Structure 1
Amino acid sequence: MGEFEDVFEDEFEEEETGNATAMGSDSDSEEEEEGIMQEEDDEETKEDLKVYLPGQALDKDEVLEVDNSAYMMLHNMSVQWPCLSFDVLQDNLGADRTRFPHTAYLVAGTQAERASDNEILVMKMSQLHRTNRDDQDQQEDGDSDDEAVDDDPVLEHHSVKHPGGVNRIRLMPGDQGAWAATWADTGKVHIWNLNPQAEALASPGHIPSSSTPPVHTIHSHEDEGFAMDWSSMERGRLLTGDMTGQIRLTTENQGQWTTDPRPFLGHTSSVEDIQWSHKERTVFASCSADRTVRIWDTRMPSRAPALSYYAHNADVNVISWNRRVDYLMASGGDDGVFSVWDMRALGGGKPAPIASPKPVASFQWHKAPITSIEWSPHEESVLALSGADDQCTIWDLSVEEDKEEEASTADSKVPGPEVPPQLLFIHQGQQDIKEIHWHKQIKGCIVTTASSGFNIFRTISV
């Protein structure tokens, strides 16, 4: 199915390009190295290193290398077929984990060349050790010597055959087990019980069948879609949105699944993302290629949105509701902009006309569409996002610009794009990044999926 690759192996500098690049990435130029005395072990001194920012041109014979000191952990996993979507499976290993090595469970859906080759992958990544960094840095982090081993991780997996490619996969939240929903490119939504696969990974010795059928299939949509979310407040409530603009609600009652025949209508183009509120049981939000974000209440008999507002000047691709500050929502669009909205300032109860409010904050660092966005489950002001420009960025919106410091360092700035003070970290090295998720039980841990595979990492900045 796939394997881990050690991105910090000794032969790394012999490769033509680096696997990942951090905001503090290293770059080496043969022209600049001429006349510089090298150490006996051929390692570059700090004077040879330069900070690279996306958009800057590389000199002739100059390549990018990952900056080990920027990561607490970084592992790469290649897979046979690209996975456009994945989710992190809750485990029983404890909350707020920080001690290495880590273990993480994921579910993902493939996009194979042939429809019959598609699968749902239930994966266990174990022995996720920290990266080898400077001994002083490791001691400052409070790690013992036995934790500071950059050893090879272990990947185990079980698969389930899936009818068609998987546009999106989402796990039912909570500790009820590994129940998942998939949006297939066939226009169907499938609900799966993946407990046998997850239990087999946790307790080896049994190999579950890979031909397990879905427990339920939703046939109500007229076209395929991507938008999907489970309620975190009420078990078995699933929202799905399709490319025709329709949103459907499916509920479970004593093992029986029912889809409401009345769709939620209001979007005039494809529904791109859906998010249930984490505070109000009947409230959810959606975003669309019609440039709007809409707020809905399932109790309204009209099935019309309670509030609509223009969020971007292009398609709105993704939204994320802050789990720690329930009135904050983030959105990302095709214009490369991501914005943060205060729900309290938007009013409500008036479906028309569509409002055009001002966001609390708005940034345009990415040079291509935003493909995924998610607030940190541990820090209320921190969020991560990915873009079609092959960047994954981490932001802390509590950071304010220090004008005095900016003035004092103006003459020493590296030429290139202006870096917002709220931008904490830039992760690169993947091609065509599709989704990003925080691991809710490992503090500061982020997982990303791209056409080139998966990355799982922790940075020293979060």
Structure 2
Amino acid sequence: MKEKGKIQIDEKYTQWKSLIPVIYDWFANHNLVWPSLSCRWGPVLDQGTFKNRQRLYLSEQTDGSVPNTLVIANCDVVKPRVAAAEHIAQFNEEARSPFVKKYKTIIHPGEVNRIRELPQNNKIVATHTDLPDVLIWDIEAQPNRHAVFGAAESRPDLILTGHQENAEFALAMCPTEPFVLSGGKDKLVVLWSIHDHISASTTDPSSAGSIIKNKKPSGGNNGKAADSLSEFCSVGDDSCLILWDARVGTTPVVKVEKAHNADLHCVDWNPHDQNYILTGSADNSARMFDRRSLTSSGVGSPVHKFEGHKAAVLCVQWSPDKASVFGSAAEDALLNIWDFNKVGDQGTTPGLFFQHAGHRDKVVDFHWNTSDPWTVVSVSDDCGTSGGGGTLQIWRMSDLIYRPEEEVLAELEKFKSHVIECSWRS
């Protein structure tokens, strides 16, 4: 069965590769020696005429022969309508991209399961590993390390304690305040404020390595977490979607039973409209809920069910560029882009308008670039394939795909007239 699935993925990949010049404005493929379970955009460092240089955060999940690492890279992001179609279609799957250069290595205590940057200062990142603690890193202050066997672990700038059991994946940052949110196997959702540490660390280097204990753990489930001002939500293996409000204590505001028909893996709150919440599940679907119509008992009633994956959905994220658009990544090696405003349109899969099939194995994480519209970084864990390691891809779909139809047709007509005029002159 696995072999059949691999053949289907390879066939889809071959078809996808032939379409790169048509459906992408820019694409870069970067082979990873070790898989990365997370990828995030950092700050823009430099703005050029044809490209911007930007930080990229990823990791190396090793086999123990060398240490696990948190990697800070510099990425040259080519601007829209600059890259030639023939150039983006030519790449070596087993090579590193010239657009991605490693800048700094941090030797991480254990595997890096999740990376999240602080929106108020994206040089500060939090990481989850196979431990109860959340680790906070000041990327610029941390020394560059050489990852060799036996090397000492880097020292985090801050350690957040409060979980009673391992907290491996559920991690989020508040968009408006320096709050860190985490979920763990202890069925707790824990919230910390690191405001004082950020203020102190800029003036007092001795504050590095501090430990902050949470004051009020919330009894919840063992799922992922997302944030929305003082409100947040969590999901877990109990198939529940739970909404919390830090202002009213540690009791759930709403608990939706059976939000999906299987374990829930991920959740995201719409940054444009706080009423909409996305979830992804082992039932191969993504669902959108409206918190104004959530039920506290019985089966949850999603506004839409998005069924375009053939394996468990591992990551969902709303687009920062359009309120109705989101992405979903899954174990079927696909990253689907959806628009819930297109659900009523004719099509085989309601709402699906773009499918990134550039990975050959499960897509474990992706991140929209808030500094460069419609640009995405995605990463796959390729250990299940013959090549092993992982694949990092940076890509931007052609704007002809998502712009209004009338606008696109007008541009194509103008281009057609230009071609005819040039042909007539020659």
In 1, the alpha carbon distance for the partners of 2:122 and 2:277 equals: 28
**Aligned positions, number:** 354
Distance 1:325 1:100, change over 3 A: farther
- Counterpart of 2:22 in 1: which secondary structure? helix
| 1:333 maps onto 2:281 in alignment | yes
For residue 146 of structure 1, what is the aligned residue in structure 2?
Answer: none
Counterpart of 1:33? none
Structure-2 residue corresponding to 1:420: 349
Distance (whole Å) between structure 2 residues aligned to residue 339 and residue 226 of structure 1: 20
Deviation at 1:212, TM superposition (A): 4.2
Residues 306 and 116 from structure 1, CA distance in 2 versus in 1: closer, same or farther, beyond 3 angstroms?
A: farther
Match of 1:242 in 2: 184
Any conservation in 1 of the 2:109–2:154 contact (CA below 8 Å)?
A: no
Given the alignment of the two structures, is residue 275 of structure 1 paired with residue 229 of structure 2, yes or no?
no
Tell whether 2:101 aligns with 1:158.
no
Contact 2:170 2:184 in 1 (8 A): yes
Structure 2: how far apart are the matches of 1:449 and 1:249?
A: 28
Deviation at 1:246?
1.4
The amino acid of 1:187's aligned partner reads: P
Q: Which secondary structure does the structure 2 equivalent of 1:225 belong to?
A: coil
Residue deviations 1:47-98, cap 9 Å, x none?
xxxxx7xxxxxxxxxxx6443211111111112211101221132557xx9x
Pairing 1:190–2:135 present: yes
8 A contact 2:45–2:54 mirrored in 1: no
* Distance in 2 separating the partners of 1:336 and 1:168: 21
Structure 2, unpaired ranges of 5+: 1-6, 88-96, 147-152, 198-209, 382-389, 403-426
The answer to whether structure 1 residue 114 and structure 2 residue 60 are counterparts is no
| Paired residue secondary structure (1:319) | strand
TM-aligned CA distance change 1:441 to 1:127, over 3 Å: closer
User: After superposition, what is the alpha-carbon deviation per residue over 1:109-164, rounded to whole angstroms, capped at 9, x for unaligned?
Assistant: 321111861111011111647543389xxxxxxxxxxxxxxx95352321111011
**Identity rate of aligned residues, in percent?**
24
Distance change >3 Å, CA 21–CA 422, structure 1 → 2: farther
Q: 1:100 to 1:339 in 2, by over 3 A?
A: farther
Give the residue type in structure 1 aligned to 2:159: T
1:171 to 117, 121, 142: 117
Distance (Å, rounded) in 2 between the aligned partners of 1:215 and 1:324: 32
Which residue is equivalent to 1:453?
391
User: What is the SS of the residue equivalent to 1:419?
Assistant: coil
Structure 1 residues 177 and 433: CA distance shift in structure 2, 3 A: closer
- Kindly report which structure 2 residues correspond to 1:61-460, keeping only aligned pairs within 5 A, or say none: 65-91=18-44, 93=46, 100-114=50-64, 117-126=67-76, 128=78, 131-133=83-85, 152-174=98-120, 176-196=121-141, 208-209=144-145, 212-221=154-163, 222-235=165-178, 237-255=179-197, 258-267=212-221, 270-271=222-223, 273-277=224-228, 281-301=229-249, 303-309=250-256, 310-346=258-294, 354-402=297-345, 419-430=348-359, 431-451=361-381, 452-460=390-398
Residues 71 and 131 in structure 1, CA contact (< 8 A), matched pair in contact too: no
Q: Is the 8 A contact 2:41 2:369 kept in 1?
A: yes
Q: CA, structure 1 residues 127+458, in 2 after alignment: closer, same or farther (shift >3 Å)?
A: closer
Structure 1 SS opposite 2:26: strand
Q: What is the SS of the residue equivalent to 1:117?
A: coil
Gaps in structure 1 of 5+ consecutive residues? 1-16, 28-51, 53-63, 136-150, 198-206, 348-352, 407-417
Secondary structure of 2:132's aligned partner: coil
TM-score, structure 1 normalization: 0.70
Partners of 1:384 and 1:260 in 2: how far apart?
32
Separation of aligned partners in 1, 2:309 and 2:191: 34
Work out whether residues 161 and 212 of structure 2, in 8 Å CA contact, stay in contact via their aligned partners in 1. Answer: no
RMSD of aligned C-alpha atoms?
2.9
Structure 1's 295 and 401: CA in aligned 2 closer, same or farther, altered over 3 A?
Answer: closer
Deviation string 1:425-448 (CA, Å, 9 cap, x unpaired) is: 111131121011100111110110
Judge conservation of contact 2:71–2:102 (CA < 8 Å) in 1. Answer: no
- Higher-Rg structure is 1
Secondary structure of 1:299's counterpart equals helix
* Residue 284 of structure 1, CA deviation: 0.6
Deviation at 1:187, TM superposition (A): 3.5
Question: In the alignment, what sits opposite 2:416?
Answer: none
Decide whether the 8 Å contact of 2:162 with 2:217 is kept in 1.
Answer: no
Equivalent position SS for 1:341: strand
